[in-house]
A = this chain, B = another copy of it.
Amino acid sequence: MSGFLQDFWFSITRPRRGRPKLELDSSTLQTVAVLAEQENRAPDEVAAELLQAGLRDRQETVMAQLLWQCLTPREQDVTALICQNLTTRQIAARLYLSPDTVKTHARHILDKFNVPNREALRQMLSGWDFSAWA
């Protein structure tokens, strides 16, 4: 058995109740293999890297969600529209404010998320769904 099979078999045989099973379709595995071959690396290494990168993203999402809860309702509105790539003017028109007011909210938002600019905010929340503010 390969090291992976050993590990997996070991985790299955451990006395754990209701442990979920890890099941991937073979096409994903094959794509990993193809990519690994292109990069001259072991597929398990590539897969681990991809998984770990994805997991890191998710953990950052948890942090961002906590910070989101610290926003006022108005700030959440402005955040959502910023992340949908609306300009200050567009946001102002949408929320019936002056552009300067939008910038004030943006200032507060960036401070609460501790990011240097709107781009960094958008990057931080890039996987979020803001369609409720469409």
Residue positions of A touching B, CB distance < 8 A: 2-5, 7-12, 19-26, 28-33, 35-37, 42-44, 47-55, 58, 119, 122-123, 126
Contact = CB atoms under 8 A, between A and B. Distances in A.
B55 A51 contact: no
**Chain copies in the assembly?**
2
Contacts of A55: 28, 31-32, 35, 50
A44 B20 contact: yes
B21 A44 contact: yes
Nearest to A14: B26
Contacts of A30: 11
A25 B55 CA distance: 14
Contact of A36 (B20, B26, B123): B20
A50 B52 CA distance: 9
Contacts of A37: 20
7 contacts: A3-B23, A7-B25, A20-B37, A20-B44, A21-B44, A32-B51, A54-B54
Contacts of A47: 22, 24, 51
Contacts of A23: 2-4, 7, 42, 44
